[in-house]
Amino acid sequence: MENLAIVAVFIALGYFFGRMAESRHYQSIHEREQAFLHLPTTSSKKPLGHIGPITQARLVQGNVVISVDYFKRFLATLRNIFGGTIQAYETLLDRARREAVLRLKESCPDADQIINLRLETSSISKGDTERIGSVEVLAYGTAIYSQQNTSQAAPQ
């Protein structure tokens, strides 16, 4: 009985601290997304609208590795037993994708647009091939700069 109580305490602590960390991360993501609304990003190979002559194009990337907390792992194990969607991992992947795109945008804040955005996702397991320890998301694309942007950025 005592062992069951210890397990329950660890699960409750995992839930509390995991939710708190996830909430803080979502708040940070939301604030940074608002700051980068001016930088359009698309998976299209062509720029959105007319931006004038392109003077520079460069490969940019952003990546992130986010670990799965024990509570999410516990919920995922239960869901695997009973079947259905694993919502605990869905929020993990959402945070990882959004964070990777934000890091990409932070690497080229003066770009006019980011085109040809691609996302690559991989899981990192902890020795056991059935368990996911962490999730890595790599976002990459082409940052394009127009003549307008280059002429504005030149005098410093």
pLDDT, tens digit, 9 for 90 and up, residues 11-38: 788 778 878 888 999 999 999 999 999 9
How does pLDDT run across 114-136, given as a tens digit for each residue? 999 999 999 877 666 566 678 89
Rounded Cα–Cα distance for residues 24 and 137 (Å): 19
Contact 71, 7 (CB under 8 A): no
How does pLDDT run across 86-121, given as a tens digit for each residue? 777 788 889 999 999 999 999 999 999 999 999 999
SS3 1: coil
Residue whose C-alpha is closest to residue 48's, from 108, 117, 103, 105: 117
pLDDT tier, 152 (very low <50, low <70, confident <90, very high otherwise): very low
Contact 144, 106 (CB under 8 A): no
Residue listed under structure tokens 């932070």: 106
CATH of domain 2-153: 3.30.110.70
Q: What is the mean pLDDT of the segment spanning 1-15?
A: 81
Contact 137, 63 (CB under 8 A): yes
Rounded Cα–Cα distance for residues 150 and 153 (Å): 5
Residue 80 pLDDT > 90: no
